[in-house]
Amino acid sequence: MNDSPLQVLTLPTSPYPDQRPGTNGLKKKTNVFQSKKNYLHNFIQCIFSSIDLRDRQGSTVVVGGDGRYFNSTAIRVIVQMAAANGVGRVVIGQNGIMSTPAVSCVIRKIKAIGGIILTASHSPGGPDGDFGIKFNSANGGPAPEAVTNKIFQLSRTIEEFAICPELRVDLGTIGKQSFDLENKFKPFTVEIVDPVESYANSLRNIFDFAVLKELLSGDNHIQIRLDAMHGVTGPYVKKILCEELGSPANSAINCVPLENFGGCHPEPSLIHASDLVETMKSGQYDFGAAFDGDGDRNMILGKHGFFVNPSDSVAVLAANIFCIPYFQHTGVRGFARSMPTSAALDMVAKATKIQLYETPTGWRFFGSLMDAGRLSLCGEESFGTGSDYIREKDGLWAVLAWLSILAVRRQSVEDIMTDHWRTYGRNYYTRFDYEEVDLDAAVEMMLDLELMFSDRAFIGQVFTMGEKKYQVEAADSFEYSDPVDGTISRNQGLRIIFKGGSRIIFRLSGTDSFGATVRLYIDSYERDINKLFQDPQVALAELVTIALQLSQIHERTGRRGPTVIT
């Protein structure tokens, strides 16, 4: 403990107009946080000010990050401001490292008032990359919209922030550090913890580690390849999969978190995890997976590079859910997916007579259902899967869930997937992203589409493509009424639903100084067993043509095609 009390200062500042948190917090270019005076301090103060002072006094806050550039600097500022704002204890992963699912886990275990996660998810890192700050509530999940709105409103009028500038914390040494502050009766405590252990304990209670160890290191073990993409998941993979479950050390690659993710884009996709995809194509490995920067997303691959679409992944987990011991004990309360995610999960829910929820994009909607005891398993098309043991999506959990299914069924990833299609039908699926398009043009296109869909004559319209006919069964602007608290979320995307279950979805995703992002989702349901193994782009071509004709997106945006195809 330091000998003399540390001074707490209240310093003047000026507001910024652009600190509205999105679904994943406040994300900007790193140099915005570094170069704009008090930009970081303002937002952190607004997080603390959004918490009632009576709740904040003496409370515990969890802090962790994905290790990207500026991570440690930001954590030191957060600690100084937490102390000055009445927080009693801050729990931090060693060296500032803690995955997003692990932060959620720790918040719930120690009953913290919330957590601050420093990540820009799957966006690039480094001085020229992105940086982000996300606040999670006491349930361990992303702060609800009412809280993020309050943070934004505070950010527009902030005049001062509180800080203890002389407080110096050692992020590298596990243990407790105490600090006396002026005018404070109790010392302020910083606790540096092993970022893996508490999270690993939870996984031990969910999965049968003995069965998984036999699968990965027994006499007839499978060969796996896991790519942490130099993100935060690396230490978790090494500790749990390699050291504890016995997978060879060389089965896990890129496991050292780097500030710039090794110069790569830490997104678990066929494009950005292409090295893993090529390695899997060799046939040397039975199972492959990649994780994103902060550890909440995952991509699953089978032998010879067989790709499991994220929408299919959550459906397979649902269909085989009792391969996971946790669900044998808790039962299954419900399934959920985000609206743009394919309806593959719907088919499983229908067959098993388990309640299905279709929510807007954003994990907080799942968290509300979990808190109410209505949801056990959920997923989204953007490589996110999770369950109700925490309130975040969880890449490593998804991998252990898949390995549990492999251990029980003793089939390959591809055989499990093809059996699933034969049982439930196949949802061919793709997403087109049109990034940095003119905002006015994007908004005008969406308004025109909404007007078209609202015309009664549009319902029943038939689009003939070759020998196949697509008849519109419903079309709307998706709105969601939360069954727990009745909150209504409007304008969550435009949908065309065809007879037979196929869908076209348009969604205006994000707007910033570089323009807007328009996402086009195509979900084509096929039940004919003779058409289950087509090339997805061939199977989807007709619906893509319809979508492009209706929206005129290329003509309206001046683009010849999408920026990214997923």
Residues marked as catalytic: 121
CB 303 within 8 A of CB 240: no
3-state secondary structure (DSSP) of residue 50? coil
- Distance (Å) of CA 19 to CA 47, 77, 378, 509: 11, 18, 29, 17
d(CA 457, CA 155): 46
Nearest Cα to Cα of residue 301 among 406, 376, 221: 406
3-state secondary structure (DSSP) of residue 65? strand
Q: Give the H or E element holding residue 134.
A: strand 130-136
3-state secondary structure (DSSP) of residue 279? helix
* Backbone φ, ψ for residue 22 (5° rounding): -90, -165
* Backbone φ, ψ for residue 21 (5° rounding): -70, 140
Burial of 320: CB neighbours in 10 Å, binned 0-12, 13-18, 19+: buried
- Distance (Å) of CA 90 to CA 139, 189, 197: 17, 6, 17
Packing angle, helices 39-49 and 145-155, rounded to 10:
130
* Backbone φ, ψ for residue 135 (5° rounding): -105, 125
CB 521 within 8 A of CB 431: yes
For every residue of 493-542, DSSP letters joined together read: -EEEEETTS-EEEEEEEEEETTEEEEEEEEEEEE--GGGTTS-HHHHHHH
Nearest Cα to Cα of residue 279 among 253, 247, 318: 253
* Bridge partners for 520 per DSSP: 432, 506
* Backbone φ, ψ for residue 361 (5° rounding): -65, 135
Nearest Cα to Cα of residue 152 among 297, 336, 349, 19: 19
Contacts of 279 by beta carbon, 8 Å cutoff, 6+ apart:
225, 285, 288
3-state secondary structure (DSSP) of residue 466? coil
146-183 as b/e, with b when 16 or more CB fall inside 10 Å?
A: ebbebbbebbeebeebbbbeebebebeeeeebebebee
How many beta carbons lie within 10 A of that of residue 144, not counting itself? 19
3-state secondary structure (DSSP) of residue 420? helix
